[in-house]
Amino acid sequence: MKRTEIFNNFQCPFINGIFLHNGEIFVLDYRNKDNATVDIVRKLNFFDDEVKKADLIDFDYMGQISYADYQIRYGEGSFGGDGVVGLFLKNELLWFLFLENSNPFCKAIIKDHIAFVQSTNGVIFSIPIDNPQLLQVVKNPDFL
């Protein structure tokens, strides 16, 4: 199945990461204890064997906001504790974030070309629209 078909079917590989439209994947380590951090641990391609062998997880978008021709869609994965964010330009997916331990994303704003997304446990990430791999935790979770 093609990458676009997978995401259009509201599925993604069960890999904590940022999936770019060109097939690159930045695999993430998100630690949410005490001072939450998120780091890139390696880089993969959508066509690597590890990605092909990964289970697929279903997800749902629970909300969306618009900014010029962009849309940020945010929501949850099917396991309940995971969150998803997709950036679209004129309905074309540019990048997609999946985190298995973030809790669902429930709010988003865009300011100065940076997306700020908040999960149901209060953690807030800043994600530069043009360089999503530079995401950061800007507010720790309210509860764990």
The average pLDDT across 121-130 equals: 96
Looking at per-residue confidence, does 132 or 34 come out higher?
A: 132
Please report, for the chain, the start and end positions of each structural domain, with discontinuous segments joined by +: 3-139
Express as a percent the part of the chain with pLDDT over 90.
Answer: 83
Q: Which fold has domain 3-139?
A: Lipocalin (2.40.128)
Beta-strand ranges (E) seen in 83-129 are: 83-89, 92-99, 105-111, 114-119, 124-128
> Residue 34: what pLDDT?
74
> Residue 119: what pLDDT?
96
Model confidence pLDDT, tens digit, residues 62-108: 999 999 999 999 999 998 899 999 999 999 999 999 999 999 999 99
Beta-strand ranges (E) seen in 1-144 are: 11-13, 17-20, 24-31, 37-45, 56-67, 70-77, 83-89, 92-99, 105-111, 114-119, 124-128, 136-139
The average pLDDT across 28-33 equals: 88
